[in-house]
Structure 1
Amino acid sequence: MRIALLSDIHANLPAFEAVLEDIEKQKPDAVYCLGDLVGYNVWPNQVIGLIRKHGIATIAGNHDLKVSKILQSEGECSKEQSSDYAYKLVGSKERDYLLTLPRHLKLEFQLNDDHLNMLLVHGSPRSINEYLLKELPEQYILEILKEFKADILCFGHSHKPYHRIVNSGVNGMDHYHHLINTGSVGKPKDGDARACYVMLTIDHQTTVTSPDGIQVEFIRVKYDVEKAARAVELSLLPDAFADNLRKAY
């Protein structure tokens, strides 16, 4: 089974359209979005519309939940309010959709007499705002994996893609877990301005006793970065957001 995982679109329509086109070519069996559809750019409603049109199962990100605190503006924002402008663009129907998204999704596979639990979150299972960075101590990661019974933990939030494997086995019995940060479609922060998503492959030989039990491919997709950056500069959003897109930081 091939599963496409994407996250942190952040209202960047050109990036999302390019990723959707690439996913269509890849023909995965399922597609999941790990949240943050809005924020930082001017196309939140169009992005939400495409998510719903394509029937992509989606969880809430921390930016998606911000719309509950920010009302639509009937007039123009002042420069002092410009960081909130991205959320004021979200329509009422789109806001209702964001606020009803689930926080987690859990998939269970039964392969080779193994139960393989896959947990999809935005930040971490403990908090939507927590960053699960690559350099976190292994013991801390193992505590989370044990607490939430996750063999494969997929998340976004930091916009920095990585795949890390840890072993919780004892007494010579290996039990491997996979941590997968999907990176960001619409606002990468790893120095590569291209959109990023993940293709995860699980086959009939997948088992928790092998570190090679699943295959993880990070796919980078070129898109019109300048179009997205110029949209920011022509709006009431801070110009720094455009610089973020061009330099991917």
Structure 2
Amino acid sequence: MRIALFSDIHANLPALEAFFKDVETRDTDAIYCLGDLVGYNVWPNQVIDLVRKRGIATIAGNHDLKVAKIYPSEDVCSTEKSSDYAYKLVGEKEREYLLTLPRHLDVEFRLNTDSLNMLLVHGSPRSINEYLLEELPPDYVTEMVKEFKADILCFGHSHKPYHRIINSGEDGDDYFHHLINTGSVGKPKDGDARACYVMLTIDPMASTKSPDGVQVKFIRVKYDVEKAARAVELSLLPDAFADNLRKAC
């Protein structure tokens, strides 16, 4: 089973188009989106449309839920730059779609005599706004994956990709969990401006007793960063958003 995971597009249409062009060349069985389709750029409706047309199972990100409080208004034509402008661009039908997205998805794999539970969230199982950073203490992470019965925990939010394996077994009885941050398609923050997504491969012999049956590959895709940055600068969004795209920070 080969699963493509992506998140944090943030209304960056050129990056999303490049991602789809790349992933469609690969042997993929399923695609999941881990949220944050909007914010920071000027193409929220086009991004939502592309994801919906492909029927991709998608969960809500924290920026997606901001549309519940920020509506189009008379000052959408203002000349004053504001980060809220990104949400005021979201159309009514697109707003309804974002606000009905699930907060998480559970996928169970039954393999041989074992089973693997994959949990897809945006921030963490505990909060859509929590950052699961790579340097979190092992005890904290172990408690979380055991609490939510997540053998494979997939998330985004921090825009910094990593794969971490935790062994929660006791008394010599191994039990491995995989934590996978998908990075960001539309707003990387790890110094690499290319779009980032994950190809997750689950082997037919995968088991919680061994870390080897789950493979994680981070794929980087070039896109027209300057086009996305210039779109920000020509809009009512803060120019700093454009600089962050160029610097991937």
TM-score of the superposition, structure 1-length normalised? 0.98
CA distance in 2, matches of 1:198, 1:83: 28
Match of 1:228 in 2: 228
Listed one character per residue, the Cα deviations across residues 131-176 of structure 1 (whole Å, up to 9, x for unaligned) are: 0000000000011001100000000000000000000011111000
**Corresponding residue for 1:207?**
207
> How far apart, in 2, do the equivalents of 1:210 and 1:24 lie?
30
Amino acid at match of 1:76: C
Correspondence for 1:101: 101
Matches within 5 A, 1:121-132: 121-132=121-132
C-alpha distance in 1 between matches for 2:56 and 2:27: 14
Alpha-carbon separation, structure 1, partners of 2:117 and 2:94: 31
Amino acid at match of 1:63: H
Judge conservation of contact 1:77–1:85 (CA < 8 Å) in 2. no
C-alpha distance in structure 2 between counterparts of 1:106 and 1:83, whole Å: 33
Return the alpha-carbon distance in structure 2 between the equivalents of residues 223 and 77 of structure 1. 30
Secondary structure of 2:115's aligned partner: strand
Per-residue deviation, 1:212: 1.1
> What CA distance in whole angstroms lies between the structure 2 residues aligned with 1:181 and 1:46?
25
User: What residue identity is the alignment partner of 2:59?
Assistant: I
In the alignment, the residues of structure 2 paired with residue 202 and residue 64 of structure 1 have an alpha-carbon distance, to the nearest angstrom, of 29
- Take 2:103 and 2:244, find their aligned partners in 1: how far apart are those partners? 27
Secondary structure (helix, strand or coil) at the match of 1:189 reads: coil
SS of aligned partner of 2:77: coil
Aligned to 2:78: 77
**Structure 1 consecutive aligned stretches of length 4 or more whose deviation exceeds 3 Å:** none
Q: State how far apart, in whole Å, the 2-side matches of 1:51 and 1:73 are.
A: 26
Q: What secondary structure, in the 3-state scheme, does the structure 1 residue paired with 2:24 have? A: helix
- The gaps in structure 1 that reach 5 residues or longer are none
Q: Partner residue of 1:160?
A: 160
Q: Secondary structure at the match of 1:26?
A: coil
Which deviates the most, 70-79 or 133-142? Answer: 70-79
- Summarize deviations over 1:188-224 as a string: whole Å, max 9, x none: 0000000000000012111111111201000000000
Q: Between the two proteins, what is the percent identity of the paired residues?
A: 79
C-alpha separation between the residues in 1 aligned to 2:225 and 2:45? Answer: 19
1:195 equivalent in alignment to 2:209: no
Name the CA distance, whole Å, in 1 between partners of 2:62 and 2:79.
Answer: 24
In the alignment, what sits opposite 1:30?
A: 30
Q: Output the CA distance in 2 between the equivalents of 1:131 and 1:77.
A: 34
Contact 1:41/1:231, CA 8 A, preserved across alignment: yes
Aligned ranges 1:49-88 → 2 under 5 Å? 49-74=49-74, 75-79=76-80, 82-88=82-88
Which residue of structure 2 aligns with residue 110 of structure 1? 110
Shift of 1:77: 3.1
Instruction: Report deviation, 1:73.
Output: 2.6
CA positional deviation for 1:78: 4.5
Distance 1:77 1:49 in 2: 26
**What amino acid is the match of 2:175?**
H
Shift of 1:30: 0.3
Distance in 2 (CA, whole Å) between partners of 1:77 and 1:86 is: 13
